[in-house]
Amino acid sequence: MVAALPPLSLLDLATVGRGRPVAEALAETVTLAQTADELGTFKRLWFAEHHNMPRIASAATSVLIAHVAARTERIRVGSGGVMLPNHSPLVIAEQFGTLAELHPERIDLGLGRAPGTDGATMRALRTDPRAAEAFPQDVRELQGYLTGQTQIEGIHAYPGRGTNVPLYILGSSLFGAQLAAAYGLPYAFASHFAPDALEQAVRVYRERFTPSEQLAQPHVIAAVNVIAADDSATAKAAQEKVLHARVRMLAGRVGSGSIDDDMVVALLDTQVGAQAKHMLTHTVAGDRDEVAAGLADFAALADADELMVTNPAPGLDQRVRTLQILGGVAPRVL
């Protein structure tokens, strides 16, 4: 018998297909969001800030959140996350305060400490490499703007003040776990691509959690890749394509030039292939029953209160079907 699943949520990178227009990816993101909204089995939908990555269309995270929130009705929409070192806390408070006024009780603000890009792009963003060191203070400053308890006398976020947009700390190491625990905030672990410290980070977070005005009890969100299909063979074939896409992405970053399908297959047995497989450690693929069992096992491993699902299957039809199958195994939350 499969254990009951915790609530499910979604992480969407607005992935651009190879050789496809960005507008198509954004339209597909809306379709997926509306499907999730109608199913009523997904608590929230988050978009992640990445820069200088041609296959990811969620760089202007707050803009995409506004677009999707205006085209859905019930699901919470937010960031997973905004990379706070790239921005001033006041500007983020104004952006998400505006979103909260437009869509009351539906906006989340997940925060990351990483730049979401490489060093050269950081310079183009005008981001000081040392900015991450101020992340704890920046979180407090941002929180003050949103609660109306500003940390800087005479400076307020308009809009933003008093909206109390909930904050979430994102991470893939013990740093984020310790900060979320100290501040009494929910903690989301990026186990969909960084599996190594998951169990230790969750344990540290739970042991050190201090209640806050936002959160009385610890809340762990763990991310997992899911590929669901009507039969196991179809899901496994899609999983193989996802692995190949990850190898292609990693090889492109290290300057391998144009990478054809034969080269991707050859790279599977190299360090690049091993890295891609490791990044996808927490991936559940299969039919309805296999996915339900796999998610239950992962939730137990992660000691998670909520699962953040990425939907990496190639093709819109397969991703819609994944959502539909998940809708049949997950608890209703909307």
Q: Is residue 258 in some structural domain?
A: no
Single-letter amino acid, residue 163:
T
pLDDT at 256: 47
How many structural domains are present in the chain? 1
Q: Is residue 220 in some structural domain?
A: yes
CA-nearest of 275, 330, 333 to 4 is 330
Residues in the chain: 334
Instruction: Pick the more confident residue, 249 or 333.
Output: 333
Integer-rounded Cα Rg, in Å, for the chain is 19
Q: Is residue 33 in some structural domain?
A: yes
pLDDT tens, position by position, 167-212: 999 999 999 999 999 999 999 999 999 999 999 999 999 999 999 9
pLDDT at 130: 84
Q: Is residue 103 in some structural domain?
A: yes
Q: Is residue 323 in some structural domain?
A: yes
Q: Is residue 247 in some structural domain?
A: no
Expressed as residue numbers, the domain containing 299 is 8-229+281-328
What CATH number corresponds to the domain at position 223?
3.20.20.30
SS3 of 205-239: HHHHCCCCCCCCCCCEEEEEEEEECCCHHHHHHHH
Rounded Cα gap, residues 311 and 70, in angstroms? 22
Q: Is residue 275 in some structural domain?
A: no
Residue 1 scores a pLDDT above 60: no
Q: Is residue 268 in some structural domain?
A: no
Which band of pLDDT confidence, cut at 50, 70 and 90, is reported for residue 120? confident
Provide DSSP, 147-177: HT--SSTT---TTTTT--PPEEEEESSHHHH
Return the bridge partners of 206, or none. none
